[in-house]
Amino acid sequence: MKHRHHAHFATAAIHTGYHPQDQQGALTPPIHISSTYAFETVEQGAEAFQGDNDRFIYARLGSPTQQILEQRLARLEQAEAALATASGMGAITATLWSLVKPGDEIIADLSLYGCTYSFLEHGLKSFGVKITYLNLSDPNNLTQHISDQTRLVYSESPTNPNMRLVDIAALAAITGPLDCQLMIDNTYCTPYLQNPLALGADLVVHSATKYLGGHGDLLAGFVAGRQEVIDHIRMFGLKDMTGAVISGFDVSLLLRGLKTLHVRMERHGENAQQVAEYLAASPHVKRTYYPGLADFPQRQLAALQMRQAGGMIAFELNATREQAAAFVNRLQMILCAVSLGDAETLIQHPASMTHSTYTEEALLAHLISPTLIRLSVGLEHVDDIIADLDQALESVFSGASGDSNNGLAILA
């Protein structure tokens, strides 16, 4: 069955890579649970192993359902090719194991998701890869430090958890002429809000566990970029170095999540805008970091490279760490949990949770405030989200004692 190119994001997210007539009219693609694929002859198998035909070989290299997902993800990120993996960390590690060797340098932004930081700092570093952390929000910092040794530049935008942006096009202009790849973690934005490859990046990586799945019921990731690079990551980083293979069931759940991504992102964004405005106006809130606020320091850049401001907010209270913990504990509907991009509004304390891989000193050096609170604004009615934040703030700052929603103290 010939597949059409779908010009619009929403249509591509629903149709790309599959036509029901490929599978006896089945609207939903079947899940292939087969671990291995039979050849008609030894010669055909030998050809498959040489890459001289496009037969499936073994599920560690992919499956027909996974191929549909990968075509769809590549289309949404405007990439030649994509590789789906068992988790976001699976995509990040398979990619970096494939592209750097001892003696190479990676320049990474200062603020990274905790396990990405840990992989660079405690993983790759111990294998002889030089890791340099810079504030990449100022591209001049990259210009000053980049050298022949620098094989890869890595950043999130917005950064997890502190919502800094990097100017992806400006960084690409610096790495472009050199033998150096620019790799962007686009998890916070999803391809609906930002396309790093279209801005000049070489590779884009995602935790699909978040908005792409959207329902808190799967772990997945993907990397997208040029076909030959993705082939190399599949045949080395995934097949040999990590084995971080996505399961067929998670492929199917992810295909289901993608169908509503555009609708969900619109509502996440609308809700987050109102919640951010509420927080920014509260006398109990010291700073609110959200790209949709008028006083967001990188508002112009946000308007330039992001289609909307997204669903993630970070903020600091006019409070001690203990009061900040008490505030979270007094929330009644909003859940104290890591992860993000789910229908449920989730709140967490990065220094205690997602970024506890940083030492206290490293948190400060990496611009992550120990009192920062991170909010993933969900799809509940926005009035209920704001009402819950409001009652918890009132409860803490009026000194009344409230009931903990979950008994989880941020500060052990």
Block residue for tokens 């289901």: 256
The one segment of 19-27, 164-172, 227-235, 335-343 that binds ligand 7XF by CB under 6 A: 335-343
Element (H, E) at 305: helix 299-305
Query: Burial letters for 126-160: b for 16+ Cβ neighbours within 10 Å, e otherwise?
Result: eeebbbbbbebbebebbeeebeeebbbbbbbbbbb
Number of residues in contact with ligand 7XF, rule: CB under 6 A? 18
Residue among 56 and 117 whose Cβ is closer to ligand 7XF: 117
Taking CA 339 as the corner, what is the angle to CA 190 and CA 238, rounded to the nearest 5 degrees? Answer: 65
Contact flag: residue 156 with ligand 7XF (CB under 6 A):
yes
Residue among 219 and 319 whose Cβ is closer to ligand 7XF: 219
Burial of 181 (0-12, 13-18, 19+ CB in 10 A): buried
Block residue for tokens 């909003």: 334
Contact flag: residue 354 with ligand 7XF (CB under 6 A):
yes
Contact flag: residue 190 with ligand 7XF (CB under 6 A):
no
**Could you say which of 66, 95, 137, 207 contacts ligand 7XF (CB under 6 A)?**
207
Residue among 339 and 405 whose Cβ is closer to ligand 7XF: 339
R_g (Cα) of the chain, nearest Å: 22
Contact flag: residue 108 with ligand 7XF (CB under 6 A):
no
Q: Considering the complex, what minimum distance in angstroms separates the CB of residue 154 from ligand 7XF? A: 11
**Could you say which of 150, 187, 190, 298 contacts ligand 7XF (CB under 6 A)?**
187
Q: Considering the complex, what minimum distance in angstroms separates the CB of residue 272 from ligand 7XF? A: 16
Sheet holding 130-134, edge to edge: 81-85, 221-225, 203-207, 181-185, 150-156, 105-109, 130-134
Residue among 89 and 301 whose Cβ is closer to ligand 7XF: 89
Residue among 56 and 211 whose Cβ is closer to ligand 7XF: 211
First to last CA, the chain: 58
The one segment of 12-20, 86-94, 97-105, 189-197 that binds ligand 7XF by CB under 6 A: 86-94
Residue among 175 and 186 whose Cβ is closer to ligand 7XF: 186
Subset of residues 112 to 131 that bind ligand 7XF, contact rule: CB under 6 A: 113, 115-116
CA dist 192 and 182 (Å) reads 20
Active site residues: 60, 113, 185, 210
Three-state DSSP at 211 gives: coil
Contact flag: residue 250 with ligand 7XF (CB under 6 A):
no
Contact flag: residue 311 with ligand 7XF (CB under 6 A):
no
Subset of residues 220 to 249 that bind ligand 7XF, contact rule: CB under 6 A: 221
Q: Are 308 and 265 in contact (CB under 8 A)?
A: yes
Residues whose CB is less than 8 angstroms from the CB of residue 184 and which lie 6 or more positions away in sequence, other chains included? 154, 155, 156, 157, 166, 168, 196, 201, 203, 204, 205
**Could you say which of 14, 178, 198, 338 contacts ligand 7XF (CB under 6 A)?**
338
Contact flag: residue 313 with ligand 7XF (CB under 6 A):
no
Q: Considering the complex, what minimum distance in angstroms separates the CB of residue 206 from ligand 7XF? A: 7
Count of C-beta atoms within a 10 Å radius of residue 339: 16
β-pairing verdict for 221-225 and 81-85: antiparallel
Contact flag: residue 137 with ligand 7XF (CB under 6 A):
no
Element (H, E) at 155: strand 150-156
The one segment of 108-116, 281-289, 305-313, 396-404 that binds ligand 7XF by CB under 6 A: 108-116
**Contact positions vs ligand 7XF (CB under 6 A):** 87-89, 113, 115-116, 156, 160, 185, 187, 207, 209, 219, 221, 338-340, 354
